[in-house]
Chain A
């Protein structure tokens, strides 16, 4: 396994991105080091599976390595990386045909989860949502994106996104009500 070293500890990210675009592997390693945490967290929220999330996050950075020369503005790296990560997740869903039956599956899961909602943590609660709903929720709450931005990113109508987020929020509130009660008791 490769030993990585922090070559650019105090450099601005735009400069490191520019270096990585020229094929500088040390700069690329530095970008991975700086951004890995947010991408891995995003994938964990999306997939709810740590092993899968690690693999997908690695795939995201491999895509970055392959496509970074196409990035025109180094300052746009952050948004570009986020878009790439979502694209990797959507590709994974399409490859596994998860989007097609997602709604039906989620409804079934919800029926089972209704009785066991106590103690569910966030990832478990997210797992009870259908993939499109979960992705909308993650983008809204984890990434702080607006509904319009999510609609653009997912190429879906704004109304659908709003409906997904509303439905997902209600579902999560329901699943996490026990957690909320517990927290209130602690306070």
Chain B
């Protein structure tokens, strides 16, 4: 739909429309998309290689750090000896459970204060 269009301009715009040859233009566009495809493929290969190299280089240090964290979180809070109380309280008698319970407590208090709902 057009509003209050000038007739001369309408005519001029219609006359200026040329039926342009498609072959060369289409070929150029297809060549450019092909180049783009190669570039994307090369980029993806480079990223994959970089990730593989990083994984190879950092695998051992990352594993060591993970082990240290796990050991730290497993550290017992109270020495309860080797009896059944130690065995029974093992799931909560460590730094990891202290973290989880503290977080849960903080969120519960916050929820009560603010009145918002949180999920953990």
- Count, chain A residues at interface, CB 8 A: 37
How many chain B residues sit at the interface, stated as a range, is 20 to 34
Chain A residues closer than 8 Å to B23, beta-carbon distance: 4
Give the dominant DSSP class at A's interface: helix
Check: B26 CB closer than 8 A to any chain A CB: yes
Chain B residues closer than 8 Å to A57, beta-carbon distance: 25
State the CA gap A141–B9 with chains docked (Å).
7
Is A176 in contact with B12, judged by CB distance below 8 angstroms? yes
Is A2 in contact with B25, judged by CB distance below 8 angstroms? no
Interface residue from B12, B13, B22, B31 paired with A2 (Cβ < 8 Å): B31
Is A142 in contact with B13, judged by CB distance below 8 angstroms? yes
State the CA gap A122–B14 with chains docked (Å).
11
Interface residue from B3, B12, B17, B30 paired with A29 (Cβ < 8 Å): B30
Interface stretch of the complex, out of A30-38, A70-78, A93-101, A105-113: A30-38
Chain B residues closer than 8 Å to A159, beta-carbon distance: none
* Chain A interface residues (CB < 8 Å from chain B): 1-4, 25, 28-29, 32-33, 36-37, 40-41, 45, 54, 57-58, 61-62, 65-66, 122-123, 137, 140-142, 144-147, 169, 172-173, 176, 179-180
